[in-house]
Amino acid sequence: MTRVAITGARGRMGNLILEEIKNAPDIELVAAFDIVGLGQKVMGDVLLSDAGDLKKVLQETRPDVMIDFTVASAATDNICTAAEVGVSLVVGTTGFSPEQTTRIHRAIEDGQVAAVISPNFSVGVNVFWKLVEAAAMALREYDVEVIEAHHNKKRDAPSGTAVKTVEILRESMGLDRVVHGREGLAVRTKEIGVHAVRAGDIVGDHTVLFAGPGERLEIKHQAHSRAAFASGAVRAAGWVAGVKPGIYSMADVLAGVDPSV
Ligand SMILES: NC(=O)c1ccc[n+]([C@@H]2O[C@H](COP(=O)([O-])OP(=O)(O)OC[C@H]3O[C@@H](n4cnc5c(N)ncnc54)[C@H](O)[C@@H]3O)[C@@H](O)[C@H]2O)c1
């Protein structure tokens, strides 16, 4: 049985992850945190704790893994605290600055814990990234654009999934220049164009468009529901509890890599 804590338990993703945990026979919720709805029961006897008491409650409840879906600034502090007290991690939060990423990686290394960090926990997006990489290697001379669309409450842009997609394209196509949106007069150079749409309740769409002489190829993923992310995050929590310290991706979880000690 894997003992799990969750931060951001009252959020869109947090609520769905609680549902997934309820239905997972090998996962037990031992603590839940947020900054709203404090004192409510979230599951069985588990009360919603104040994120300000994170260290104390983690030490009392001794989870194996903490799942964080909050906001980048809060997540950075939450992750550092969990790593310091020896709790492994599943990090779904996106929008980290380079400085926050450095702090997180250092804390995970210093704490000697294991962490699965992914801007997207869906199986489909992890296949999408593989397809994008294969197409990019074969279409190095084509123009490439990344278009993503999300709901109007999403704070970070472009999405973490789009940022990772751009990294894959940069490496596979040898492109350095990234252009976010376009306005005014400019000639297209060797570059990756990135476009972020924010509207209504769109769960998450990502398209990579390759265009060359007389043709174009589009690779597209559309999430219909956040359940795809929640089930992946809970699967990652079960996996990360049994592996040696280090930073892993969702691709490692899906590949069934077994780096146990
Ligand atoms: N990796 C993925 O597969 C994936 C999928 C969807 C969303 N996300 C990311 O997950 C994050 C959360 O998304 P959401 O749609 O659930 O957002 P949300 O705004 O609905 O939920 C965030 C929750 O975090 C809480 N919170 C804020 N500060 C906190 C703190 N210090 N400690 C504990 N809780 C705190 C908020 O009160 C809120 O309940 C975002 O960064 C989003 O981009 C990732």
Residue boundaries of the structural domains of the chain: 2-117+226-255, 123-223
Give pairs for 217-226: CB < 8 Å, separation 24+: 217/135, 217/139, 217/142, 219/128, 219/131, 219/132, 219/135, 221/122, 221/124, 221/125, 221/128, 223/122, 223/124, 223/125, 226/12, 226/13, 226/16
Q: Which structure tokens are listed for 230?
A: 């929640």
Give me the pLDDT at residue 244, please.
96
Of the candidates 22, 105, 130, 150, the residue annotated as catalytic is 150
221 catalytically annotated: no
CA of 131 to the centre of ligand 1 (A): 28
Query: 35: Cβ below 6 Å to ligand 1?
Result: yes
180 catalytically annotated: no
| pLDDT tens string 127-182 | 999 999 999 999 999 999 999 999 999 999 999 999 999 999 999 999 999 999 99
User: In ligand 1, which atom is closest to the CA atom of 94?
Assistant: 41
CATH fold for the domain made of 2-117+226-255: Rossmann fold (3.40.50)
CA dist 153 and 196 (Å) reads 13
Atom 39 (ligand 1) nearest CA: 11
Residues of the chain with pLDDT under 50: 261
Q: Are 49 and 38 in contact (CB under 8 A)?
A: yes
Query: 96: Cβ below 6 Å to ligand 1?
Result: no
User: In ligand 1, which atom is closest to the CA atom of 74?
Assistant: 31
CA dist 244 and 188 (Å) reads 46
Give me the pLDDT at residue 57, please.
98
Give me the pLDDT at residue 261, please.
47
Q: Which structure tokens are listed for 99?
A: 């400085």
CATH fold for the domain made of 123-223: Dihydrodipicolinate Reductase; domain 2 (3.30.360)
Q: Are 75 and 68 in contact (CB under 8 A)?
A: yes
Atom 19 (ligand 1) nearest CA: 11
